[in-house]
Structure 1
Amino acid sequence: MPDLHGIPVHADCRHFRGDIPCRPNKEHGYQCADCPVYVPVQQRILLIKLGAIGDVIRTTPLLRRLRQQYPDCYITWLTLTPAILPQGGGWIDEVLKFDFASALHLLARRFDLAINLDKEKEACALLLQVQAPQKFGYTLRETDGVAWPVNELAQHKYLTGVFDQLSQQNQKPYVQEIFELCGYEFRGEEYVFDTHDDKGYDWPRLPQGRPRIGLNTGCGDRWTTRLWSDEKWVELIEKLQTAGYAPVLLGGEAEHERNQRLHAATGAAYLGTFPLPQFINLLHQMDGIVTQVTMAMHISIALRKPTILMNNIFNPHEFDLYGRGQLVQPDKQCICFYRGTCQLGGPGCMEDLPAGKVFEAVKASVLVG
């Protein structure tokens, strides 16, 4: 053990910070010489997954396998959205928000294993430069600056991202693909996620005595071909109410006006918009969630809720609902794969998804009484 001015210092401990006192010192007064919670780090792992939020959430099952294979490892995760990652529980030792300072910091360090799951050039450039004998995922080709698989295992996932035809033929869920990219067999590992129950959120306005079905009515502004009309939502809400369910309207600022209209038309509960941790906790109060492919879908799966997933423009094999809920699609086949506007014009194929079909999926997934 090295010492400084005669004081022993366990700089290799999983708890040690170097710039501030470690948590065991702050909370219990422990010092390195006789610390009962000293854990020497055996491997240092860098995980780069910047965004979007949903993709960050659905990368968390990988933590379970990394912790299983490397129980005494130190995991650093670089992301654009640190708040969405699990706090506490010992899953991640260090969460860094991607910026110049973090990149500079990481390039000065050495890792045993580095994984980059993003094809953004800045993420690939970082994996190219970071010091690690084992690298998985995507790097940057120095000759032309394009994203490129750093190892053979990454080639399948890489190709499905650059050719629509291969993406449409793919039959592997996203989580399985990223496990295989890292050389692991996917065994149904669940997401690692925080319900935020410890924040003390109170929901007195939520319906009581009936199964609550969260209805996430938006889908973001990138692929608006996923949107369902107010008329369809009203029809679904009325069917749910008649059958003894309590619909709860969900969404952010972009869905606020729509949810107000739906509340006025049907009386379905609508509590408003909330910061992300509180929104997550609101979803945790649901017995089932109806959603398009959007952030709320990833949160619902992470919370282990029966998820009724309305899909049209994405490969349905991409999504693993872990045996909870159902995936429902329009009666007419969608031809607008990963497109934000319908090639045929008009309202788009989501209007060919009957409210009754979604309702039957809710009934099959969440029982009344």
Structure 2
Amino acid sequence: MPVSDCRHFSGYKPCKKNEFCDSSCAHKDIPQISLLVVHLGALGAVVRSTSLLRAIKRKYPSSMVTWVTDAPAHQLLHNHPAIDRVLTTTEADLLQLSTLEFEVALVIDKSLKAVGVLKRTTVDQIFGFTVNPRNGAIVPATAAANELWQLGLNDEKKFFENTKAETQLMVEALELGPFQRDEYWLPLNKQEDLTRQARRSEWLQGKSLIIGLNTGCSNVIAHKKLTVEYHRILIQKLSHEIPDAQLVLLGGPEDTERNVLIATGLPVISSETRSGLRDGLVSVAACDIVITGDSLGMHMAISQQKQVIAWFGPTCAHEIDIYERGAKILTKSPCAPCWKRACEKDIMCYDQVSLMEILDAVKSSRTNCLSRGSAAVDPAIEAL
């Protein structure tokens, strides 16, 4: 008889692990707990939250994990070795969710929408955040989430008193055990890794290493990106001072036209920007060093264990862990951080980022890359 409670059993098509399903199958794996992760966005934050997966598996080693997120973040999590099912907030996917029951839910977002996802299923225990049903206010689901909750309510605490990275705050808020500073976990699959190798070989063109410049960010806080002119000056400086480096512009579809303006007349390669999130991840993985603002591209670079030179203006540098690979460059603007979505100042925070600090950090990272004997760090194709 088929083992219908195995995590690999679907009930409507042959199993990918074994065509014949019975109790003698070597791949038989019966989960002991059903766990729901709700993290809808933003894209970079979802990438960062993959750092939770090892802690989840330590606390719940035989869990079957379903992750609900907003599109298009589901593309990033597709076929992840630690996630059994990825659903979006579309009605079709929420219908699927309504057929399931969970012992544990981890709600990472502080939003009514995220908590509302739970109303489409059955959950025994919630960690992270929930809602006061009388007024719709987001509140901690348990006392452990109080610190992370309070940081969102008090700018003084968030900007100046807090010293913990968001990765640590999440582990503690979700009660996932002692914080062990786990890395982001977003591996390339085998075909993607082959594409990375081919792309890297194509880009190197006899150079020693590849420096990627992630030029964009989301429109939520649009001034987390450097100006076109700043990027052009930076490229000119890098090409002069680090001649053995190939320079590549990175970005998404919203950055396509901007990258054309940046690249015009300069010795830089423009990567493909319209082939989807996973292809963008492959391009980041083909680089050795990534220069970026606080954006999805930064989190992708961290996930692929690149040397990351990240500059910070409106957002909090101390909330980001780059795992001793690279450097964080802070704007000289006296009003940073602020987390404002709009700003009317004559001199913006991105105008007050030291070009010399970026160049020095890139040179230091270049030395670190080359001293390992191979510039590239191959992203691991990991399995549980």
Matched-pair contact (CA < 8 Å) for 1:212–1:248: yes
- Aligned counterparts of 1:50 and 1:32: Cα–Cα separation in 2: 37
Q: Name the counterpart of 1:236.
A: 234
Q: Name the counterpart of 2:7.
A: 14
Q: Name the counterpart of 2:76.
A: 84
Q: Name the counterpart of 2:172.
A: 180
Q: Name the counterpart of 2:16.
A: 23
Q: Name the counterpart of 2:203.
A: 206
Shift, 1:30, TM fit: 1.9
Letter in 2 for 1:206: W
- Aligned counterparts of 1:249 and 1:54: Cα–Cα separation in 2: 18
Shift, 1:92, TM fit: 0.8
Matched-pair contact (CA < 8 Å) for 2:88–2:94: no
Shift, 1:313, TM fit: 0.8
Aligned CA distance change for structure 1 residues 106 and 179 (closer, same or farther; 3 Å): same
Q: Name the counterpart of 2:24.
A: 34
Per-residue CA distance 1:142-201 (angstroms, 9 max, x = gap): 111222211111111112123322221321111101100122222121111133551443
Secondary structure of the equivalent of 1:154?
helix
Secondary structure of the equivalent of 1:111?
strand
Per-residue CA distance 1:322-366 (angstroms, 9 max, x = gap): 1111000122323460112225x2240211112111111111122
Aligned CA distance change for structure 1 residues 116 and 297 (closer, same or farther; 3 Å): same
- Would you say 1:295 and 2:296 are equivalent positions? yes
Shift, 1:34, TM fit: 3.0
- Aligned counterparts of 2:20 and 2:59: Cα–Cα separation in 1: 29
- Aligned counterparts of 1:261 and 1:88: Cα–Cα separation in 2: 36
Aligned CA distance change for structure 1 residues 164 and 237 (closer, same or farther; 3 Å): same
Bigger-Rg structure (1/2) = 1
Matched-pair contact (CA < 8 Å) for 1:119–1:147: yes
Aligned with 1:120 (options 111, 119, 122)? 111
Letter in 1 for 2:137: V
Secondary structure of the equivalent of 1:115?
strand
- Aligned counterparts of 2:336 and 2:236: Cα–Cα separation in 1: 30
Secondary structure of the equivalent of 2:203?
coil
Q: Name the counterpart of 2:37.
A: 47
Per-residue CA distance 1:91-145 (angstroms, 9 max, x = gap): 1111112223433443443222111111221211233674333210111211112
Shift, 1:35, TM fit: 2.3
- Aligned counterparts of 1:316 and 1:271: Cα–Cα separation in 2: 27
- Aligned counterparts of 2:14 and 2:155: Cα–Cα separation in 1: 51
Matched-pair contact (CA < 8 Å) for 1:124–1:140: yes
Secondary structure of the equivalent of 1:255?
helix
- Aligned counterparts of 1:350 and 1:240: Cα–Cα separation in 2: 19
Matched-pair contact (CA < 8 Å) for 2:314–2:349: no
Per-residue CA distance 1:22-50 (angstroms, 9 max, x = gap): 323xxx32222432322221111111111
Matched-pair contact (CA < 8 Å) for 2:311–2:330: yes
Letter in 1 for 2:231: W
Matched-pair contact (CA < 8 Å) for 2:66–2:85: yes
Q: Name the counterpart of 2:263.
A: 263
Letter in 2 for 1:139: T
Q: Name the counterpart of 1:106.
A: 97
- Aligned counterparts of 1:253 and 1:88: Cα–Cα separation in 2: 24
TM-score of the aligned structures, taking structure 1 as reference length: 0.90
Shift, 1:257, TM fit: 2.4
- Aligned counterparts of 2:313 and 2:190: Cα–Cα separation in 1: 33
The RMSD of aligned alpha carbons is: 2.1
Q: Which moved more, 1:319-328 or 1:10-19?
A: 10-19
Letter in 1 for 2:203: L
Task: State the percentage of identical aligned residues.
Answer: 28
Q: Name the counterpart of 1:4.
A: none
Gaps of 5+ in 2: 371-384
Shift, 1:87, TM fit: 1.6
Q: Name the counterpart of 1:313.
A: 314
Gaps of 5+ in 1: 1-7
- Aligned counterparts of 2:354 and 2:80: Cα–Cα separation in 1: 43
- Aligned counterparts of 1:215 and 1:197: Cα–Cα separation in 2: 25
Aligned CA distance change for structure 1 residues 102 and 263 (closer, same or farther; 3 Å): closer
Q: Name the counterpart of 1:363.
A: 363
Aligned CA distance change for structure 1 residues 146 and 130 (closer, same or farther; 3 Å): farther
